[in-house]
Amino acid sequence: MDEIQQLKNEIAEIKKRNARVEADKAWETSLFRKILIAVLTYIVIVIFFFFAKLSKPFVNAIVPTVGFMLSTLSVPIFKKFWLKGQKKRIINIMGVQITYFVHGTTTDNEKGIATGCNQGELSEAGIKQSKELGKKIAGRNFDAIFCSNLKRAVDSAQLVFGGKYKITQNEKLREVNYGDWNGKKNTFKDKLEKFIGRPFPNGESYQDVEKRMREFILSVSQSYNNMHVAIVAHQAPQLALEVIANQKTWKEAIDQDWRKKNKWQPGWEYKID
C-alpha cells in the first residue's frame, strides 16, 4: 500500500508540474497580461510628463526612473498571483480521458476456464464481437490506443481498430495472474474478494494489479495529459480503474462488476484527474 500511495503522490506531482507549464504558456498570451502592461506603461508615461514640468533636475531624473522600476517590478508580482489562480483552474480540468474496451469472448470463456495470464484465443463469437464493436465506434477518435500484450487482447484490438491507429501493447494491462489456477476451471471466481490483498497461489493479488495500473496511469499522464486514450484489456485492470478513477473500494468494484449482470456496453469512460 505504501507503493500505491507513492504512485498517487507522483501522479499528483506530475499534475502540478504540467499545470505550471500550462499556466506559464497561458500567461504569455493572456489578455490580462496585455492590459496590465498597457496600464503600467501609461502610468510611467503620465509620471514622466508630470515631473518633466518641474524645475528640479534631481526629481526630474530620479522619479520617472523609480516609477518605471516600480511598474516593471509590478508585472512579476501580478503574474505570481495570476498564475496561482490559473494553476488551480488548470489542475481542476487536467487529466486523461480513458475509454476502456474488453477483449472479445474466448474459447476458454466458453468452456468456463479462467485464462488469467495465458494467451487465450478468441472464439468465433469473440471475433464477431470485436468486428462489430469496431463498426460501432468507427466515428470516435482517440489520441492513442493501448492493449494488454496477451494474444486475446491484441487480436481484439486489431479487429476493433484495424489499421487506423498504432496499437501499443503494455504488459501492465495484463489480466491478474491466477498463478497455479491459470487455465483452470473458473469456479474460484465466485470468491474474488478473498484475493484483494492476498495473492492467488504463486500469482498476484488485486492490489498488485492496482499497483501496476497506477504505474501505467503515471506513464500515460506524462505523455497524454488532456488527451483521450483507449484501452483494450481484461477484467482485473478494469476493476482497478474503478478503484482508481471512481474511488470504489475493491469489494465494491468486485460486487458491482458489470459482468455479474451481463451488462456489456461498447466502452466504459474513466476520467483520471
Catalytic residue numbers? 103, 175
Q: Is 175 annotated among the ligand-binding residues?
A: yes
| CA pseudo-torsion sign 134, 137, 141, 146 | negative
177 is in an annotated binding site: yes
Whether the CB-CB separation of 47 and 64 falls below 8 Å is answered with yes
Residue 28 amino acid letter: E
Closest CA to 146 of 211, 225, 216, 239: 216
- Measured CA to CA, the distance from residue 100 to residue 186 in angstroms comes to 23
Measured CA to CA, the distance from residue 75 to residue 63 in angstroms comes to 19
The β-bridge relationship of strands 96-102 and 268-272 is antiparallel
Q: Which three cell numbers stand for residue 125?
A: 463469437
176: annotated binding-site residue?
Answer: yes
> 29 labelled as ligand-binding?
no
Distance CA 105, CA 219 (A): 29
- Pairwise CA distance, residues 171 & 146, whole Å: 10
Q: For residue 90, how many other CB atoms are within 10 A of its CB?
A: 21
Q: Is 224 labeled as ligand-binding? A: no
Residue 178 is labelled as binding a ligand = yes
Confirm or deny that 152 is annotated as ligand binding: yes
Question: Annotated binding site for substrate, which residues?
Answer: 115-116, 152, 175-178
